Amino acid sequence: MSDVDAVIERATFDDAGLLPAIIQQWDTKEVLMLGYMNAEALRRTLTEGRVTFWSRSRQEFWRKGDTSGNVQYVKGAALDCDDDTLLVQVDQIGAACHTGARRCFDVDPLDPVIGDPVVGSPTT
Amino acid sequence: MSDVDAVIERATFDDAGLLPAIIQQWDTKEVLMLGYMNAEALRRTLTEGRVTFWSRSRQEFWRKGDTSGNVQYVKGAALDCDDDTLLVQVDQIGAACHTGARRCFDVDPLDPVIGDPVVGSPTT
């Protein structure tokens, strides 16, 4: 069994056959987006140097940047302790988000109550 | 409608009523873990200063640190462009992972083919 086959066997896909993949810029550590991979998308991501997702809405493979040029080059990857989430470090060219934002999380910042570890309880 | 109610209404939960939540250390930007929230867990996270998840395996709420002391204090939060993923910036006390590792992604690093943006194709 190849290393990649072993990873795919070890990974735990959900009932729809998908694994969530957190995409992080490798040097600045910004979290860029979350996508989903099936086994074949995971195989391509680990072997092709570019990130491939499975589109749940379109039910097809997609590689970030094929139409936009905003390519995600793979710099590293890890499964989590339960083997059910992937973290991919990438070099993201341009915007990661289809809105044109660098990060998909730039679009809708929230205003939560901030917790305070100094006093051990939330500040209000 | 309160701001929190508006966020919960805007958030897109999956067929199981869950939203994936990426947990990131606010200052170092390490990705610590991924958890899941239902609407009530999201409400608690946004209003209590500590991160609350819904456990899919135990079918119950859990707050990181209630048994381990490794509390996650909320420092910021954002929904993504599709409103179907949450990013929470936290101050993580101690280990985020139940294995004792700081990050759940420290446990199983992989060895992908590295993509090379300079030459525009994967290096092998």
SS3 of B46-102: HHHCECEEEECCCCEEEECCCCCCCCEEEEEEEECCCCCCEEEEEEECCCCCCCCCC
Contact A78 B122 (CB under 8 A): no
Measured between alpha carbons, how far apart are the two ends of chain A, in Å? 55
Chain B residues near residue A50 by CB distance under 8 angstroms? 115, 122
Asked if B69 and A85 touch (Cβ cutoff 8 Å), the reply is no
Which of A70, A78, A20 has its CA nearest to residue A46?
Answer: A78
Query: Would you call A120 helix, strand, or coil by DSSP?
Result: coil
Asked if A77 and B106 touch (Cβ cutoff 8 Å), the reply is no
Report CA A102 to chain centroid distance, whole Å.
Answer: 14
Chain A closest CA to B74's CA: distance in Å? 5
Chain A residues near residue B91 by CB distance under 8 angstroms? 115, 117
> Which class for B77: exposed (0-12), middle (13-18), buried (19 or more C-beta within 10 A)?
buried
**Across the strands, what pairs with B88?**
B23, B77
* A14 annotated as belonging to a binding site for a ligand: no
Give the pLDDT confidence score for residue A120 in this predicted structure: 52
- Report, as ranges of residue numbers, the positions in chain A whose pLDDT lies below 50: 124
pTM greater than 0.90 (yes/no): yes
Q: Which CATH number applies to A3-104: 3.50.50.60, 3.40.50.2000, 3.10.20.810, 3.40.50.970?
A: 3.10.20.810
Contact A81 B107 (CB under 8 A): yes
Give the pLDDT confidence score for residue B116 in this predicted structure: 84
- Which of A3, A4, A105 is the best residue to mutate to test the B interface, defined by the most B CB atoms within 10 Å of its own CB? A105
Give the pLDDT confidence score for residue A117 in this predicted structure: 72
Q: What is the dihedral of CA B115, B121, B122, B124, to 10 degrees?
A: -140
Chain A residues near residue B70 by CB distance under 8 angstroms? none
Helix (H) or strand (E) holding A1: none
Distances (CA, A) of B108 to B65, B94, B104: 23, 19, 8
> In chain A, whose CA is at the least distance from the CA of B46?
A112
- Report, as ranges of residue numbers, the positions in chain B whose pLDDT lies below 70: 1, 118-124
Query: Would you call B34 helix, strand, or coil by DSSP?
Result: strand
Contact B114 A80 (CB under 8 A): no
Give the pLDDT confidence score for residue A116 in this predicted structure: 84
Q: Where are the domains of chain A?
A: 3-104
Fill in the DSSP letter of residue A96. Answer: S
How many residue pairs from chains A and B have C-beta atoms closer than 8 A? 180
Give the pLDDT confidence score for residue A57 in this predicted structure: 92
Give the amino acid at B11.
A
Report CA A29 to chain centroid distance, whole Å.
Answer: 12
Cα radius of gyration rounded to whole Å, chain A: 16
